[in-house]
Amino acid sequence: METIYTFDALNQRIQLLENQQDKEWCDIKDEIDEIKENLKPLNLIRNTVEEINKTVGFKSNLAQSAINIGIGYLAKKLVIGKTNSTFKNILGSVLQVAVTTLISKPSEHETQTKPSEEELYKE
């Protein structure tokens, strides 16, 4: 770092450092927001399903749908359990459909960051 002898140069350097600090704070806030988004339970489940699909190599929508339905069924069994109550069975079925639907939808974060195939081939 060079020595600064004039007030104008000092003020310019201070302004430059303040701008740099503001940019770094914005970057940190964006990173924290992304971490919070990734730690939401739905996104944790969705990311786990995607990792399973990548590792096992499920390419077809049918296999991914089967996994999503299985996770919905598992959620129903974990929350409701085994019961003879009609109300609890209906509530469990609604929960199963809700979880399956939420997991199978692409996340908002993914749709914003991933370019479409058309955009990839335009370049």
Indicate the pLDDT class of residue 47, thresholds 50, 70 and 90.
confident
Is the pLDDT score of 21 beyond 70?
A: yes
Q: What is the pLDDT of residue 30?
A: 94
What residues contact 67, with CB distance under 8 A and at least 6 apart?
Answer: 49, 52, 53, 58
Helix 86-104 to helix 61-79 angle (10° resolution) is 140
- How is residue 110 written in tokens? 């993914």
pLDDT digits (tens, 9 = 90+) for 52-69: 767 766 666 666 777 777
Q: What is the pLDDT of residue 114?
A: 52
- Alpha-carbon distance 43 to 98, whole Å? 14
